[in-house]
Structure 1
């Protein structure tokens, strides 16, 4: 990966985009994706059933996905109770085969381990098949972050108060899985990343929704242009 600037420690995270580290406690991620076109409005009532209140795929159960890569197998556990729309979206894409033959297009290991990013829209065959079959358009999902003290996740806004950040249920720790997005908060779509080390600077800004439960040694081996042969939903 390209160099980190000496003072700002800029690390690339997407095509023509960078992570910028200004202070140890502050980080901004910009992913070069198309901006959000819209997402379903979600009520704020803590007692509503999220999955019956959105048109997006939604799952409140724990789900498991096996990523078969050219370097070996990686098994993921996804937490639907904490991130039902994010998990529902990911499983829907898996079952549509949209992660099959996709590359890891960002791997940041220097000057220290950071992350690998997968789910590149442009498949190895140079075809972009990621369209929602219901709308014929790219699907975007809202930023989804659950606090321990709330029954439902918070949607469409970053969590920046220090007291709330400490209360986030799923944090950016080594082996955890999170959604990449552009500067627009509701622009997550297909691409995801796996943390190679803990990065609390990202907490409250991106949607963590699962973790690697086996194959983290394979994750550590992944380099840019390595690829997912097949992603499939599996039993626990």
Structure 2
């Protein structure tokens, strides 16, 4: 348990996400109400279209995003079928310009390669980057993990049994993309991280939703305080 806590702190420490989540705990409760009602519907029908059953942004298609950084370009492929709410949230934020002029605020390469975390600490101090404009509040999304044997992802809970972990569709491998969160399970918002090496200890605990398909050499060059100039949705 202590090791897990340290891992989560490494990914989410000093983030706007963590601070505002605990300050606005009522938002978490509202999300869980929506999530639980949505999950009950999903359990009744495994063929239900997730995107027609949630108020979160949702995409079931593969999407592509280009991160233009001060070190070079990084192209991402996002897997909507396996992580529709996580991908929908990410693309929605990209299209709102939420990642433009934000820094890579946590880069861990020692004692071994770990992660590059992005999407935090706006260079221009625009708090609206973290806000769902329609509601005027931060939007938190549920932990979303899909098992190979299931038609739909699992929501709102950590997967910790060895048999289920072995069947996770998207795992924490080098070049893959996952959502950062605080210790609260359903607290992902804006920040994401790219894996610098395979980290199976994170499988089942964080939501993997894409991977770097070009520019991993650029990711390897990134240091803390490097930044995203622009993030934009692109064709394959």
TM-score, with structure 2 as normaliser: 0.87
Structure 1 residues 31, 201: CA separation in 2 closer, same or farther (over 3 Å shift)?
farther
Per-residue deviation at 1:199?
Answer: 0.1
Contact 1:105 1:225 in 2 (8 A): yes
State whether residues 33 and 182 of structure 1, in contact with CA within 8 Å, keep that contact through their aligned partners in structure 2. no
1:34 is displaced (CA, Å) by 1.3
CA distance in structure 1 between the aligned counterparts of 2:18 and 2:204, rounded to whole angstroms:
16
More strand by percentage: 1
Instruction: Please give the per-residue CA displacement for 1:63-91, whole angstroms capped at 9, x wherever unaligned.
Output: 00000000000000000000000000000
1:52 lines up with 2:52 in the alignment: yes
Structure 2 unaligned segments of length 5 or more: list them: 23-27
Task: Give yes or no for the alignment of 1:234 onto 2:234.
Answer: yes
Residue in 2 aligned with 1:189? 189
The alpha-carbon deviation at position 133 of structure 1 amounts to: 1.6
1:183 counterpart SS class = coil
Report the Cα offset of residue 125 of structure 1.
1.4
Q: What residue is the counterpart of 2:25 in the other structure? A: none
Q: Which runs of 5+ in 1 are unaligned?
A: 18-29
- Alpha-carbon contact 1:37-1:140 (below 8 Å) kept: no
- In the alignment, the residues of structure 2 paired with residue 154 and residue 165 of structure 1 have an alpha-carbon distance, to the nearest angstrom, of 12
Q: CA deviation at 1:11?
A: 7.6
1:38 Cα deviation from its structure 2 partner: 3.0
CA–CA distance in structure 1, aligned partners of residues 52 and 8 of structure 2: 41
State the superposition RMSD in angstroms: 2.0
| TM-score normalised according to structure 1 size | 0.87
How many residues are aligned here?
217
Give the match for residue 123 of structure 2: 124
**Residues 8 and 181 of structure 2 are in contact (CA less than 8 Å); yes or no, is this contact kept in structure 1?**
no
Moved over 4 A (4+): 8-11, 30-33
